[in-house]
Structures are given as C-alpha cells and as structure tokens.
C-alpha cells in the first residue's frame, strides 16, 4: 500500500515536472490494467471455488431428495437442485468461454485449459456428466427414488472423489497463477518506483543547475553594470582631465612669470621710495588708501598660495588621468603607488572632516616596489573599493565613538622575489565572523539602501584572484578594525 501511494505520488510529480510525458508513462505503467488483472484473478478464483461448493451442495441435496419421504420437501429440493445446476452450468460456461460482464475477459492459461479439456482431469467432461446426472435424478419419479439409483451413486462418488479433486486442483492452479501475476505486478511497480526515483533526482539536479545558471547570469549582469559604470566614469574623468589640463597649465606656467614681474615691480617701488622720499600729497594719500606696507608684505604670500593651489589642481588632474586609465585589454607595467595615491586623492573629500566626523588620517608606509604587470584600471577599482569600505567603516566607528582614532594605513612591501604585498588597514568598526564569512558574496551588504550594493568585494576578489592570479586575505575584529592583505605576482607570465 505504502509502495503504491509512493509510486503514484512520484508518478504525479514526474508528469507535473514534465520529465516523463504522460503517453510514455501510461504505456509503461497502466494502473487500470493492473486493477483489471487483479479483478479477473479474484473473480476466477471465486467462481471456481463456487463450482466446488455447488458440487458439494448438489450432492447433499440429491441425498436428501432420495431419503426424504415428504412430497412437498422433494418438490422443493428438485427446484433447488435445478437452480444450483443452472448456476453451475452458467459458471462453467463463463470460465470456459470468458465473460466480460463478470470481469472474465482474459482466456485461461494453457495449464488450466489442459485441466478442463485433457486427460487425466478432463474437468469439462466431468462437470457436464455430473450436471447431466443430476438433471436425470431430478427427473426420476418419487416412487422410484432410492439409494441404489445409479445417478445418485455416480453423483455421490464424484462429489466426494474425482470431481472434488479436480475442482481442488483447478482452484489451486488459479491461485498459483494469480500469485505469480501479482508478484510480477509488484516487481514492475518496484522497477517503476526506482525509475521514478532516478528521474526525480535527475529533475532535481537539472533544476539546481538551472538555479545556479540563473544566479551566475544575475551576477555577471550586475558586474557588467558595475564595470560599465566604472568605465563611463573613467571616460568622463578622461574628458574632464583633457579640458582642465590646458587652462591649468596656463595658470601654473604663468604664475612663475607673475611672481617675477611682481617682485620686479615691488623692487622698482622700493627704488622710487629711496630716490623720491617725499612724494606729493596725492601719492601719499593713495599709499595710505591702499595700505602699501601690508600689500608689499602680502603680495608674495598671495602668489605663493596661488602656486600651491594650482599645484594641487595639477596633482588632482594627474590623478584623475591615472585613474581614468581603464584599459582592460592590455596588461601594462604599473607603479602601484601611483594608483594608490590617485585613489586617495580622488577620495580626498571623503577623508576630510565632515560635519559629524573628524579628519581621517591616511598613513602611507611605502616600500620599494618594482612596477607590477597588471590591468591598471582594474587595480584602481580594487583600491577604490577597499579604501571606500575603510572610510565607511570609519564613519560608522565615529558614529559609535566620537573620539575614536580614524586612521587608514596603507603598507606596501615585497612578499618574495616575484611578488608584492599591499596591506590596507583601518581602525573602523570591524566585522563579526558572520559578516566576514559572507563579505565576498555578491549583493551581500550591511549598509543601507543607496549606500551599499554588496558588489565591491566580490569585484575586488574577481579582479585580484581570477584576473591577476593574486590572493586576498582579510583580518578583522569587531570594534578594532579591518585589514585587507593583497598579494600580486610582479610578472603575470
Ligand atoms: N573595511 C571594512 N570594515 C568593516 N566591514 C567591511 C569592510 N569592508 C567590507 N566590509 C563589510 O563587507 C560588506 C560587503 O562589502 P562590499 O562588497 O564592498 O559591499 P558594500 O560596500 O556595497 O556593502 C560591507 O557591507 C561590510 O559589512
Ligand atoms: Mg563596498
């Protein structure tokens, strides 16, 4: 029973999941056929059992018919006998000819046929003879009914001997055949059950594979979007750099001339004051109006701070130029310090003090690094993501503890004859083991919507490990801070 319900459950599952088309399945496993087969064998066993029972009953009635002295009772017994015989004849016909109205549709086995129509049993002949004899006995007038009647003698002997044995043999044959058939059906069901299990696990594996493919597709799409954003940011920066470069060069280039010219003019003014110590009142009034002493003292300072400012602009423009190099098709030999410096400069605004936070100190401990073969644009992206995460962690730390040390240390060193190491450490909020375990997962973020995408570290990992044969490790402790340790081969080949 359990097996059957299991079979039909997995059968339904298979059909619903489309693994086995309905038609193929019905060929293989026909529940109706099995039920019909069961009904037939039950009916056959029933009918043949009834035949046996009828033969015994009719023999008993015949005895009573002969022994009874009561006319009425004899008449009743004659009717009973005729009814029983009619039933026996009909059952016999059914078994021999098969009859769909009582579920007898399949023909008997060759063994059963031999039992009916061949020696030694020849049951068909025995039954017909037996029925004829009873019909004959029923016809005998009351006066002639006696124990020596040859029909009665035949009937009694058959019912207790050959006929009974023949019935027993046929019933047991029917039973055996039914058991074998049942066993075959069970076997078929077990086989189907096993097949359905295999098909189910195959379907499940296929579904899991589909899930994985879908997930990968989603990730690739997200990464594509991200790198698309990065490259348009790069292109935008490149065009800004191009536009700003010339005017900045004018200012920077002319500042040194302006400094010399003003110094010359100031010297000339001194000379005038020496040669004409008593200027006319108009000039004296003007000197007072413009506060000449202060002007003379301040002008060089103004020029030097203009020089500092334009220097700063030049640096930023240079960094933007570095950063906008997003050439992904060719590896080049790059100075990692340039890349880090550019990133820090571009993030300057976020490092400076904010309304609710003090300055973040960036401490650079640069070692002596050779140029490293890499996709420079991609490495810029790595430093950008790691330093941005560090700033976010420091923002959070400052929220929790306003006087917390806000520091990012960037250390570079050789990690062997052919490898370099970059360590980016912050004194931010750090990570719990649960966050650390999931940080490289795509779309995993602990930041609010709009601030975190959960893409940064997964991209960093892909760039370093897959694209540059590097490694990425992380050490982090809640409330203490986090350190990311990058190692890269100097040469890719
Ligand atoms: N320096 C860090 N300090 C503390 N937590 C960090 C740091 N870097 C990354 N994380 C954690 O890892 C998560 C995933 O980072 P990331 O992939 O860059 O996505 P996002 O920055 O968009 O959240 C962050 O949300 C944060 O919880
Ligand atoms: Mg991030």
pLDDT tens by residue, 15-48 = 444 444 444 444 445 666 666 666 667 777 777 7
| Ligand of minimum distance to the alpha carbon of 474 | 1
Residue 254 covered by a domain: no
Q: Radius of gyration of the chain from Cα atoms?
A: 53
Q: Given a cut of 60, is residue 5 above it in pLDDT?
A: no
Write b or e for each residue in 371-392: b if 16 or more Cβ atoms lie within 10 A of its Cβ, otherwise e: ebbbbbbbbbbbbbbbbebbbb
Q: Are residues 343 and 482 in the same domain?
A: yes
What helix, strand, coil percent values describe the chain, rounded to 5? 70, 10, 20
Write b or e for each residue in 320-349: b if 16 or more Cβ atoms lie within 10 A of its Cβ, otherwise e: bbbbbbbeeeebeebebebbbbbbbbbbee
Query: pTM of the full predicted structure?
Result: 0.56
For the residues 460-488, what does the mean pLDDT come to? 95
| Residue 44 DSSP SS3 | helix
The pLDDT > 70 percentage for the chain reads: 89
If you measure from the C-alpha of residue 107 to the centroid of ligand 2, how many angstroms do you get, rounded to a whole number?
79
Counting from 1 in the atom list of ligand 1, the atom nearest the Cα of 446 is: 25
| pLDDT, averaged across the chain | 85
Q: Are residues 478 and 336 in the same domain?
A: yes
Q: Which residues line ligand 1 (CB under 6 A)?
A: 385, 389-390, 393, 426, 428-431, 435, 439, 444-447, 452-458, 482
Q: Given a cut of 80, is residue 454 above it in pLDDT?
A: yes
Q: Are residues 204 and 343 in the same domain?
A: no
Q: Given a cut of 50, is residue 118 above it in pLDDT?
A: yes
Q: Are residues 205 and 335 in the same domain?
A: no
Pocket test for ligand 1, best of 457, 476, 486 (most atoms within 8 A of CB): 457
Q: Are residues 36 and 168 in the same domain?
A: yes
Alpha-carbon distance of 29 to 31, in angstroms, equals: 6
pLDDT at site 326: 60
Domain final residue pick, 170, 185, 209? 209
Pocket test for ligand 1, best of 389, 408, 430 (most atoms within 8 A of CB): 389
If you measure from the C-alpha of residue 198 to the centroid of ligand 2, how many angstroms do you get, rounded to a whole number?
44
Q: Are residues 337 and 200 in the same domain?
A: no
Picking from 441, 469, 437, the residue whose alpha carbon sits closest to that of residue 457 is 441
Q: Are residues 67 and 200 in the same domain?
A: yes
Of 395 and 1, more confident: 395
Of 307 and 493, more confident: 307
Q: Given a cut of 60, is residue 6 above it in pLDDT?
A: no
Query: What pLDDT band is residue 364 in, cutting at 50, 70 and 90?
Result: very high
If you measure from the C-alpha of residue 414 to the centroid of ligand 1, how many angstroms do you get, rounded to a whole number?
27
Q: Which of 215-219, 347-351, 354-358 has the least mean pLDDT?
A: 215-219
Residue 203 structural domain: 2-209
CA distances for 298 relative to 263, 292, 293, 306, 404, angstroms: 12, 10, 9, 12, 39
Alpha-carbon distance of 190 to 184, in angstroms, equals: 10
pLDDT at site 30: 62
Residue 245 covered by a domain: no
pLDDT by residue (tens digit) across 254-306? 999 999 999 999 999 999 999 999 999 999 999 999 999 999 999 989 999 99
To the nearest 10°, report the CA torsion of 292, 294, 299, 304: 170
Domain final residue pick, 176, 209, 242? 209
pLDDT at site 346: 87
> How many domains, the chain?
2
Counting from 1 in the atom list of ligand 1, the atom nearest the Cα of 388 is: 21
Tokens of 463: 């760039």
What's the CATH number where 361 sits? 3.30.565.10
Residue 10 covered by a domain: yes
pLDDT at site 262: 92
Query: What pLDDT band is residue 4 in, cutting at 50, 70 and 90?
Result: very low
CA distances for 78 relative to 5, 134, 147, 432, angstroms: 52, 10, 16, 100
């Amino acid at each position: 029973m359990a097996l059957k319900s299991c079979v039909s459950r997995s059968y339904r599952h298979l059909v619903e999941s489309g693994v086995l088309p309905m038609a193929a399945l019905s060929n293989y496993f026909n529940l109706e056929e099995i039920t019909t087969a069961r009904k037939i064998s039950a009916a056959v066993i029933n009918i043949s059992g009834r035949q046996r029972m009828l033969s015994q009953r009719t023999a008993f009635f015949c005895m009573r018919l002969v022994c009874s002295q009561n006319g009425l009772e004899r008449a009743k017994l004659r009717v009973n006998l005729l009814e029983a015989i009619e039933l026996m004849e009909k059952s016999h016909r059914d078994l021999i000819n098969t009859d769909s109205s009582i579920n007898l549709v399949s023909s008997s086995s060759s063994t059963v046929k031999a039992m009916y129509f061949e020696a030694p049993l020849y049951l068909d002949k025995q039954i017909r003879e037996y029925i004829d004899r009873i019909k004959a006995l029923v016809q005998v007038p009351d006066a002639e009914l006696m124990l020596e009647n040859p029909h009665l003698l035949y009937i009694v002997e058959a019912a207790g001997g050959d006929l009974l044995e023949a019935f027993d043999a046929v019933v047991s044959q029917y039973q055996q055949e039914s058991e074998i058939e049942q066993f075959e059906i069970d076997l078929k069901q077990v086989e189907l059950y096993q097949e359905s299990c295999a098909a189910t696990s195959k379907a499940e594996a296929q579904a899991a594979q589909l899930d994985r493919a879908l997930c990968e597709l989603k990730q690739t799409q997200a990464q594509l979007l991200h790198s698309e954003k990065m490259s348009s940011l790069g292109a935008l920066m490149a065009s800004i750099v191009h536009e700003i470069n010339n005017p900045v060069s004018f200012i920077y280039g002319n500042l040194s001339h302006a400094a010399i010219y003003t110094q010359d003019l100031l010297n000339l003014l001194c000379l005038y004051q020496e040669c004409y110590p008593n200027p006319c009142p108009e000039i004296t009034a003007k000197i007072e109006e413009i506060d000449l002493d202060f002007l003379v003292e301040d002008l060089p300072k103004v020029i030097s701070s203009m020089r500092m400012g334009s220097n700063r602009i030049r640096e930023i423009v240079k960094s933007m130029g570095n950063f906008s190099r997003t050439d992904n098709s060719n590896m080049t030999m790059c100075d990692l310090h340039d890349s880090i410096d550019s990133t820090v400069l571009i993030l300057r605004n976020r490092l400076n003090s904010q309304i609710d936070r003090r300055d973040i100190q960036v401490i650079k401990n640069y070692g002596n690094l050779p140029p490293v073969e890499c996709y420079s644009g991609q490495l810029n992206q790595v430093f950008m993501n790691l330093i941005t995460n560090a700033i976010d962690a420091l923002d959070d730390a400052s929220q929790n503890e306003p006087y917390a040390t806000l520091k990012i240390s960037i250390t570079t060193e050789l990690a062997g004859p052919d490898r370099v190491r970059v360590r980016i450490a912050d004194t931010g909020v750090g990570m719990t083991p649960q966050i650390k375990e999931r940080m490289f997962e795509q779309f995993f973020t602990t930041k609010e919507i709009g601030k975190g995408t959960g893409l940064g570290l997964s991209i960093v990992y892909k760039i370093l490990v897959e694209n540059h044969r590097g490694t990425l490790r992380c050490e982090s402790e809640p409330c203490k801070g986090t350190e990311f340790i990058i190692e890269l081969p100097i040469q890719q080949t």
